[in-house]
Structure 1
Amino acid sequence: MLDIVIEARKASIGPGMDVRRILPFRLRRMVGPFIFMDHAGPVAIQPSQTTSMDVLPHPHIGLSTVSYLFGGQVTHRDSLGVQQVIRPGEVNWMTAGSGIAHSERFEDPAALAGGQLEMIQTWVALPEKDEEASPSFDNYKPEELPIFTDTGVWMRLIAGEAFGLQSHVHTHSPLFYLHVLLEKGARFGIPMGHTERGIYIAKGSVEVSGRTFSAGQMLVFNKVVDPVIVGKEIATLMLLGGEPLGERFIWWNFVSSRKERIEQAKADWKEGRILLPPSDNQEFVPLPEDHSRPAGSPSPQALS
């Protein structure tokens, strides 16, 4: 059955960059290992304002950030020395583990022309045994990701396993993550065999069990149902889920199974023990001085 419908909330991560925040939600903190989800764009901005959108170097621990673009391009730089331009259909999968810093820059004004920039960003929590793993980064090209097509349906498997397909994207726990396009009247399912599953409607609208749901909503299902998704109009969907990992605390850009680890990460960033990207180290996001929120409560976060 349908467990909950999450309505995306507006959040600002910087001048000219408002996003729709889906996870975490106060009544549903995670879906499988997915603990965070933002939908940015389409962004319409003047070329002179491009630099105001940049996400300056900032830290992460205890998670993997997953960036996926519908349009535009973004330049990623991190403390491992990686510099990577991500384009539509590619996957940037950065595992923070014990700690990493990265930036996201919008350096090509042409990529923002006409409101082209649009991206989905998720965070995947790590199993306890991997929370302190060495940081890593991988970029996967569209041709590396499995595609499925049927009448009125196009699907790309971003990560994990679904519908008999398997992605080569390296993950740390059982999950699935799909980009799906549905034509009006087309029918699609949701992968079975996972404890927690969700459908985020990025564009358009769908019908499930006689009810219509629209862009900006996430539908979360339990394990026992096999819902049929019907396109009410052309729709873009992101399907995700997997096995729960247990309680996780989240504060700013830090995720951990232990509150004290969050406190350590705060001190590490404040004292400069998490290195900045070597090619982007002249500015950074300072640690928020937010004493009103204990570790474990949602707080303002960077895009990734």
Structure 2
Amino acid sequence: MLDLVIEARKASLAPGMDVRRILPFRLRRMVGPFIFMDHAGPVDLQPPISHDMDVLPHPHIGLSTVSYLFGGQVTHRDSLGVEQIIRPGEVNWMTAGSGIAHSERFEDPATLAGGELEMIQTWVALPEKDEESAPSFENYKPEQLPVFTETGVWMRLIAGDAYGLRNGVKTHSPLFYLHVVLEKGARFGLPKEHSERGVYVAKGSIEVSHRTYTVGQMLVFNIGADPMIVAKEPTTLMLLGGEPVGERYIWWNFVSSRKERIEQAKADWKEGRILLPPTDNLEYVPLPADRSKPAGGPSPQALS
């Protein structure tokens, strides 16, 4: 049975960089361990391209960020000293743990002017035992990620396990995350091995139980539901979910099972105790005004 349909909301990360924000949602803060989801692009800007597009160094705690590109490229730099150009089809998994800062720079003007840049970023809440783990960053190439095809269906396992597929992407709790492309008329079912499951329509449209759903909508299904998804046209889906990790508080870029830990993270960033990327340390995002407490729900100023 369909539990909920989430309509993406418009949010702005920077001038010219508007995103569709799917999670968190007021009626559904998480799907499995996934607590945040943004869909950026396609971005098509005319020269000159402003430096204001860049996402400046900013902090995270208590989560893993997962960056996945459909097109274009982004340069990631973090406080571990990692500098990585993120390209389409790769999985870039940054575990913040006890605290990390990173930036995302759009340093190839051609991809912005050509309408190529399009990306999905999710945050995965860490289990309590891993919330204070050491920060890390891993880049996985497309050839490390299994692909399955059948008539009218192509899918890549980004992380976790589903449909009998597994890969080497290191995760901290049971989950699944897939990129699925369907031809018109293709029929597709959800994985059954996870208790919470969401389907996000990134391109095209689908029919489920005689109703049509389009770009920017996420369908969340109850345990035991076995829906049949039919592509109404060439369609791209992102499937995600897994097992719940428990209640989490989210404020700005901080996620934790404890309110007081978020307060500590605020102080740490304000006082400079979370290091900036060594090769990108001349500017940063200051701590926002405290308009909401962690218990009051997500801050509208969340960054990737």
The residue that corresponds to 1:271 in the other structure is: 271
Greater CA deviation, 220-229 or 41-50?
41-50
Q: Is the 8 A contact 1:97 1:134 kept in 2?
A: yes
Per the normalisation by structure 1, the TM-score is 0.98
1:28 is matched with 28
Contact 2:251 2:302 in 1 (8 A): no
Match in the other structure for 1:243 = 243
Say whether 1:289 aligns with 2:286. Answer: no
> Which residues of 2 match residues 21-60 of structure 1 at below 5 A?
21-60=21-60
Match of 1:14 in 2: 14
Cα offsets for 1:73-119 (capped at 9, x unmatched):
00000000000000000111000000000000000111223211000
Could you tell me how far 1:18 is from its partner in structure 2? 0.5
Task: Summarize the alignment of residues 155-166 of structure 1 with structure 2, pairs less than 5 Å apart.
Answer: 155-166=155-166
Structure 1 gaps of 5+ residues are none
1:209 aligns with 2:216: no
CA distance in 2, matches of 1:194, 1:141: 25
3-state SS of paired residue (1:48) = coil
C-alpha distance in 2, partners of 1:286/1:188? 45
Q: For 1:82 and 1:171, how far apart are their aligned partners in 2?
A: 19
Offset at 1:131? 0.1
Counterpart in the other structure of 1:73: 73
Cα deviation, residue 210, structure 1: 1.2
Within the alignment, does 1:85 sit opposite 2:85 as a pair? Answer: yes
Count of equivalent residues: 303
Q: Aligned AA for 1:68? A: Y
Shift of 1:49: 2.2
What does residue 196 of structure 2 align with? Answer: 196
Alignment-derived partner of residue 145 in structure 1: 145
Name the amino acid aligned to 1:112.
L
Which secondary structure does the structure 2 equivalent of 1:207 belong to? strand
The answer (yes or no) to whether the contact 1:201–1:215 under 8 Å persists in 2 is yes
In structure 2, the residue matched to 1:109 is 109
- What is residue 229 of structure 1 aligned with on the other side? 229
Matched letter for residue 229 of structure 1 = I
CA contact (8 A) 1:79 1:102 kept: yes
User: 1:260 & 1:32 partners in 2: Cα distance?
Assistant: 24
SS of residue matched to 1:36 = strand
Q: CA deviation at 1:185?
A: 0.3
Measured after TM superposition, the shift of residue 223 of structure 1 is 1.4
Give the aligned residue type for 2:299: S
Q: Which runs of 5+ in 2 are unaligned?
A: none
State the shift of 1:51 in Å.
1.5
Per the normalisation by structure 2, the TM-score is: 0.98
- The alpha carbon displacement at 1:47 in A equals 3.3
Q: Which letter does structure 1 place at the counterpart of 2:143?
A: E
Contact 1:250 / 1:295 at 8 angstroms: preserved in 2?
A: yes
| Regions of 4+ moved over 3 Å | none
Aligned in 2, Cα 1:301/1:169: closer, same or farther, shift over 3 Å? farther
